[in-house]
Amino acid sequence: MKRKSKWFKLTPPRVFAGGFALIIAVGTLLLSLPAAAVSGEATPWVDALFTATSATCVTGLLVVDTGTYFTKFGQVVILILVQLGGLGFMTTVTWFAIAMKKRISLRDRLMLKESMNLLGIEGVVRLIMKVLIYSVVIESFAALYFAYRLSQEMPLGHALYYGVFHAISLFNNAGFELFGGFRNLTPYVADWGINLVSMLLILFGGIGFIVLSELVDYPSSRRLSLHSKVVLTATGILTLLSALLIFIFEYTNARTLGPLSLDTKILASLFQAITLRSAGVNTIDITGLRSATQFLMVIMMFIGAAPGSTGGGIKLTTFVILVGAVLTMVRGKQDMVLFRYRVPKRDIYKATTFSLLGLFCLVLSTMALSTVQGQDFLMILFEAASAFGTVGLSAGLTPELGFAGKINIIVMMYIGRVGLITLAFALQPKLKKDSYRYPEGKLTIG
């Protein structure tokens, strides 16, 4: 009995991982109902599970076309899953608790800290309330703009529905869209308004609520934390570098940037670079990209978005710490310093662990997919990286996945959203602390 209690103790990682699993289970049940499909027939459970996981893990990989396969009921279910998945299970529960005037206990605060990837519990409830305000304001303004723009080509009521759906999907970096035919935003590649608003939504969702909160408070506080400085700097550098490389690689490609005007080529390159953070929407044909561009995207999707955001991957801060550790070693320095702050050794160990576990999962998933799917290796790697990074871009493989391939991608999306370390802690019966230390040994490295 005592052993059983170790497994069923509700630790923060277990609540976080279990909350996502519960949302996915409910979403699967609703999406498998005949009322959710245009055909009036029950959706196969594996397709319903895949769609529910993709929505809850805010990924956007699709085995069926959202705009043509699902009814309004099914689309609304997907939208709710996206919102719950993007903001988090514990965040939503806390909002209801505050609305019911319930006290937020220390245990609840610890769980919120885990779900938001915070360093401590100080100010966590205040941040949760800011998340609600920021989400409502940003999504509302974006929805109104999309509705205004789309009303020029469809009835107002239809445009308003599309506006709300795409504002929520883009802000939560989910990648679901309703235009049909797996076209995504390709019809609007030259539309500066839709592109700019979409990119802002993706960036706001991808940098995380911690950074967003500090940016809003910056005019009065005049300060940013080390976390925000690293996230904003890394986002800027990786986005500009990716945009430049995409522009160079695809400049003459007749299937992507080739036929476009110079200003549209720049806009499309920047959009694709930003969407790699975790958004899963595209304005050019991903299947038509050159191999060099697709491999660049694999690297960027593996890095992912910021901690505490709606994105997956190993996270921006992890990548920065890895690069910083390499530069520190090459320069012969003892301490790694970022913005005049020394990075603790434990953070370097943590970043290394994240990266290696992520690489192991990506390699294992790619090998398994290569065994059951007969497509090109780069296409398979692209899809696995997209699932792990919860990005949602597809090189064309996902709609052709068999049963084993769908299960593979489902697992990768869940791991990418929940996080490898959180999942590992959730599965541990009990954390053990060593009562002794071994003598230090020396190894030859390099």
Span 265-279, average pLDDT:
92
131 against 408, higher pLDDT: 408
Count other C-beta atoms under 10 Å from residue 97's C-beta.
17
Sign of the torsion formed by the C-alpha atoms of 211, 176, 59 and 126: positive
- Which residues fall within 8 angstroms of residue 352, CB to CB, at 6 or more apart? 322, 325
Q: What is the pLDDT of residues 51-97, one digit of tens each?
A: 999 999 888 899 999 989 999 999 999 999 998 888 766 666 666 66
Sign of the torsion formed by the C-alpha atoms of 199, 201, 204 and 207: negative
Please report which confidence band the pLDDT of residue 111 belongs to, taking 50, 70 and 90 as the band edges: low
Q: Are 51 and 64 in contact (CB under 8 A)?
A: yes
Sign of the torsion formed by the C-alpha atoms of 69, 286, 170 and 383: positive
List the structure tokens of 440. Answer: 């230090």
Distance CA 341, CA 29 (A): 49
Q: What is the pLDDT of residues 388-441, one digit of tens each?
A: 998 989 988 998 899 999 999 999 999 888 876 666 555 555 555 666 667 777
Distance of CA 360 to the CA centre of its chain: 19
Please report which confidence band the pLDDT of residue 387 belongs to, taking 50, 70 and 90 as the band edges: very high
Span 272-288, average pLDDT:
90
- Which residues fall within 8 angstroms of residue 302, CB to CB, at 6 or more apart? 313, 314, 358, 359, 362, 385, 388, 389
Sign of the torsion formed by the C-alpha atoms of 265, 267, 270 and 271: negative
Mean pLDDT of the chain: 86
Residue 103 pLDDT more than 50?
Answer: yes
Q: What pLDDT, on a 0 to 100 scale, did the predictor assign at position 7?
A: 47
The values of phi and psi at residue 428, to 5°, are: -75, 135
Q: Are 205 and 172 in contact (CB under 8 A)?
A: yes
- Name the DSSP class of 411: H
Span 263-287, average pLDDT:
92
428 against 11, higher pLDDT: 11
Residue 215 pLDDT more than 60?
Answer: yes
Distance of CA 199 to the CA centre of its chain: 15
Q: Are 288 and 234 in contact (CB under 8 A)?
A: no
Helix axes 45-56, 12-31, angle to 10 degrees: 130
AA identity, residue 59: T
Q: What is the pLDDT of residues 233-266, one digit of tens each?
A: 999 999 999 999 999 999 999 999 999 999 999 9
| Residue 51 three-state SS | helix
Please report which confidence band the pLDDT of residue 127 belongs to, taking 50, 70 and 90 as the band edges: confident
List the structure tokens of 26. Answer: 């409910």
pTM of the model: 0.88
Q: What pLDDT, on a 0 to 100 scale, did the predictor assign at position 217?
A: 86
Helix axes 192-206, 124-150, angle to 10 degrees: 170
Q: What is the pLDDT of residues 188-204, one digit of tens each?
A: 999 999 999 999 999 99
